[in-house]
Amino acid sequence: MSFWLEYGLTYVFLAVLIFLRYVLVSGLFYMIFYVLKGDSYKTKRISTRLRKPNQSSKEIKNSFFSSLIFALGATVLIYMWKEGHTKIYIDAQEYGWGYLILSGFIFLLIHETYYYWIHRWMHNPKVYPYVHRMHHDSVTTSPWTSFSFDPAETLIQAVFVPIMVFVMPIHFTVLFILLILMTISATINHLDIEIYPKNFDKHPIGKWLIGATHHGLHHSEFVTNYGLYFTFWDKWMSTESKQYHKRFEEVTYN
C-alpha cells in the first residue's frame, strides 16, 4: 500500500473516530443532564443567559471541522510512532510502574501550563479575533461546546500531544487514558451545570480542580479562569474569578 493511501485512510478513520467520540461523550452528558434529569438540574445552571438560536448546531458543525484538524495531528503522531521517532512505549517494565503512573500526572501538569499561557495569549485583542473568537461565541456553554474552536486554536491544541510524545516517554495505555480524560474534562467544563458537590471548591483536592462553574465564569467574564484541568495557575497569577466561590455555592446549594 502506498504511503499516501495508507495515511489517507488512517486520517479518514481517525477523523470519523474523533468526531464520533465527541458526539458520544457530549451526547451522553446532554442526555443525562439536559433531558433525563433536566428539571432537577435547573437550579445548578451556571449561566443566567439563554442560549443563542441554533447555537448547538453551530457548535456541532465547528466541532466536526475541529475533529478534522485533531485527526491530522493524530495521523502525524501515528506516523512518528511507526517510524520510531516517538517515546511511546509498550512494555510497562521499561521505565517501571512508578514512572508509568507518575508520567500521567506530569503530562497533565505540563499540558495545564501550556494551555494556561496559550489561553491568555489567545485573549490578546490582536490575536483573539483570529484564534479564539469562535469558542467564545458560546457565551452560555453546553456539552456541545467542548470541541467548538477556531481552526487556528484547534491546530494550537492539536500539536501538543505529538510534541510531548516526541520528548517524553509515555506508555501507550497512559496516553490512551489521557486522551479520553481530555474529552470528558472538556465536556464537564462546558456542561453549564455543576456536577461537583457543595463545598467541593474548598476541599483539599477539589479546590485545585476545574469544573463547570469555574470555566463557565470564564465564558461570561472573559478575563478570568484561564485554566484547563487545575486552578493553580489562576490562583498564582490572580486570574481566578472573584465570583467563583460565591457562584459555586449558589449552584450547589440544593
Query: What domain range includes position 243?
Result: 3-251
Chain-centroid distance, C-alpha 38: 23
Provide the 10 A C-beta neighbour count for residue 254: 10
pLDDT at residue number 38: 62
pLDDT at residue number 1: 64
Quote the number of domains for the chain. 1
Cβ-contact 143, 30 below 8 angstroms: yes
For 134-160, the pLDDT digits (tens) are 999 999 999 999 999 999 999 999 999
Over residues 109-124, the mean pLDDT reads: 98
pLDDT at residue number 5: 77
pLDDT averaged over every residue in the chain = 93
Q: What 3-state class would DSSP assign to 70?
A: helix
Q: Which long-range contacts does 86-91 make (Cβ < 8 Å, 24+ apart)?
A: 86/165, 86/166, 87/165, 87/166, 87/167, 87/168, 87/169, 87/170, 88/165, 88/169, 88/170, 88/171, 88/172, 88/175, 89/169, 89/170, 89/171, 89/172, 90/171, 90/172
Cβ-contact 110, 164 below 8 angstroms: yes
pLDDT at residue number 42: 66
Over residues 206-218, the mean pLDDT reads: 97
pTM: 0.93
